[in-house]
Amino acid sequence: MKIIVVGGGLSGLAASVFLSEKGYKVTLLEASPKLGGRAYTIFEPDSGLEFDNGQHLLMGCYKSTLRFLKLIGAESEIERLPLRVPFIKPDKGISYLRAIDEFYPLNLIDAITNFDAVNWKSRLRILALMLKIRIGENDRELNVSVSRWLKNNNQTDEAIENFWKVLCVGALNADPEKASASVFKNVIKRIFFSGKEGYKFILPRKNLRAMYIEKSKDFILAKGGRIFLSDRVLEFRIDGGLITKIVTANNVYDDFDMVVTALPAHALSKINFNGSLSSGIPSLEYSPILNIHLFLEDNPFTEKYYALLGTDYHWLFNHGKYLSITSSSAGKLIKKNNADLLSELYSNLELFFPIFNRKSVRSFRIIKEKRATFVPSGERLLNNTGITAKVENLFIGGDWTIPELPATIESAVQSAENVSLEIFNSTRVND
């Protein structure tokens, strides 16, 4: 059976890999001249380094992603780290959120009670809410923001600012005033209460091109699949409730049985369905990410990463020869020009880290991703209806198709795995 996958980002690559592994002949169409979508690798000519557009952090609870990486032979390309997160604030120094692997989940109580970035009252309130999340409740609170939910659950301002906000902005890439409490609770439950591996950070040992893009490409081609780049899909021609032809910028495809789209919602909405735009695709609010990469002459940093408190720059990742500083939900920062951004960042780093010297920065790269993710709001959950017209051989993937999750690597890959299983089950029944 022949399947065309539209979109060569992470979701499209994962769908192509899962389907190829099940024996389907896959043709992957990608509009841009490269694979990887919003997660891509850049070459820095002065140093000869390859680096990713941003730090794409994985978690131990990313079950679909880990199955995908195992399938393409990328297990050796990742490093699993214990829960040991340095939170740093200029007036308090470093506070660690860390847990030993033994005695799970009681070890999480120890981790929070020893988290001295907040006082004892705040720690007890955090523990009480964590217990409430673990027990689970029937209320979904779709229209309640994370901020309102935290206030309703007696969290102190200090706990919100120095603990919950860090988790919300980092995991959801959204301001707590906008993000849905229902999605946030689900994410917290997955991270902390899905087993002792769930809360571990997973970092790529290499860049994303080496870790999964090239390996996915090789896997698809080895299974007899085809990949066409710079070939944008313009139209689906439908006859009798089935897509019979796909019109692209370079070709017309008609030799296929099924079609999988793995596109962002805004990209899918631009494809014509029999000459008219599709209906029912949700209009999402997008949230930007700012990444600033600093290439250093000398690197005095010792930790692999730091969570920064009380600033618009949320994370610093240490790659040895360069640093990556990330601002999530960065709507305010991306409007600034590069000179102002650098000046503000250097002042922040010198305040947080007296060991940092701006003169050691040899070069830099500023990357503004205006549509990095969507905002996981209550409105999005209530209106994520998909395409209303029934097209029997069309299957839709992409991170936005899983209502209970934010836009992450895991939601992208999980949607791909879901689609591949749906196709496999439907064809098995027909056979």
What are the 10-residue block averages of pLDDT along the chain, 431 residues in total? Answer: 97 98 98 91 81 88 96 94 94 92 92 96 97 78 89 97 96 95 94 94 87 95 98 95 95 97 93 76 90 94 95 95 95 95 97 95 94 86 60 93 92 97 83 53
- Three-class secondary structure of residue 319 per DSSP: coil
DSSP 205-227: SS-HIIIIIHHHHHHHHHTT-EE
What residues make up the domain containing 395? 2-42+60-73+205-283+377-430
pLDDT for position 279? 65
- Find out whether the peptide bond into 105 is cis, omega within 30 degrees of 0: yes
pLDDT for position 277? 62
Q: Does 82 fall in a domain? A: no
Q: Does 238 fall in a domain? A: yes
Sequence-separated (6 or more) residues with CB below 8 Å from residue 211: 69, 74, 77, 78, 204, 205
- Three-class secondary structure of residue 418 per DSSP: helix
pLDDT for position 40? 83
- Say if residue 317 is in the same domain as residue 337: yes
Q: Does 387 fall in a domain? A: yes
Q: Which DSSP category does 9 fall into?
A: B
- Three-class secondary structure of residue 57 per DSSP: coil
Q: Does 233 fall in a domain? A: yes
Of the residues 330, 359, 374, which one is the last residue of a structural domain? 374
CA gyration radius for the chain?
Answer: 22
- Say if residue 361 is in the same domain as residue 415: no
CATH number of the domain at 409, please: 3.50.50.60
- Say if residue 181 is in the same domain as residue 32: no
DSSP H/E element including 14: helix 10-21
- Say if residue 327 is in the same domain as residue 341: yes
- Say if residue 191 is in the same domain as residue 107: yes
Of the residues 169, 198, 227, which one is the last residue of a structural domain? 198
Of the residues 148, 175, 198, which one is the last residue of a structural domain? 198
Cα separation values, 280 from 227, 266, 277, Å: 29, 12, 10
pLDDT for position 280? 72
Q: Does 49 fall in a domain? A: no
pLDDT for position 137? 63
- Say if residue 106 is in the same domain as residue 165: yes
Q: Does 85 fall in a domain? A: no
Copy the structure tokens of residue 379. Answer: 């409105």
| Amino acid code (one letter) for 380 | R
DSSP H/E element including 108: helix 106-113
- Say if residue 146 is in the same domain as residue 248: no
Residue 219 near residue 353 (C-beta atoms within 8 A): no
| Amino acid code (one letter) for 65 | T
Number of domains making up the chain: 3
Residue 386 near residue 263 (C-beta atoms within 8 A): no
Q: Does 47 fall in a domain? A: no
- Say if residue 256 is in the same domain as residue 387: yes
Sequence-separated (6 or more) residues with CB below 8 Å from residue 123: 112, 113, 115, 159
CATH number of the domain at 306, please: 3.90.660.10
- Say if residue 250 is in the same domain as residue 194: no
- Three-class secondary structure of residue 262 per DSSP: strand
- Say if residue 366 is in the same domain as residue 391: no
- Say if residue 100 is in the same domain as residue 185: yes
CATH number of the domain at 128, please: 1.10.3110
- Say if residue 254 is in the same domain as residue 331: no
- Alpha carbon of residue 311 to chain centroid: 22
First to last CA, the chain: 11
Which pTM does this prediction carry? Answer: 0.94
Q: Does 78 fall in a domain? A: no
